[in-house]
Amino acid sequence: MFDKLVIVVTMGMVVSIGSAVTPAPTMEIAPNVFMPQINLGISNHTLWLEVGGRGLDTALVYGDPAQAEVGQAVRSSSLDRASIFVTTKIPCCPATTWENFCNAT
């Protein structure tokens, strides 16, 4: 029997079952660069890392509190930083909404 039974289902895929954690599947996006096939956006990143998730998704529009939560989850985990894949999104084009933010000093 398991001390703690953990079942993680994401997008219809069982990522982890049991107390032993297996990192989510990855795909090679460049020579020797592997990106997790599942990345978690706004949610509990600490729990995600504990159950085997290694992909963290961020974005400028998520705001500072969400970005701080991602950083804290990474720092407080016992994982080697190289095993965590962080992606982000920034506005790709100049837009009135972002002009003041981008030009702030």
Domain boundaries, the chain: 23-103
Burial of 70 (0-12, 13-18, 19+ CB in 10 A): buried
Dist. CA 61–CA 5, nearest whole Å: 35
Where does the pLDDT of residue 30 fall: very low under 50, low under 70, confident under 90, or very high at 90 and above? very high
Nearest to 87 by CA among 51, 48, 59: 59
pTM: 0.66
How much is the pLDDT for 61? 82
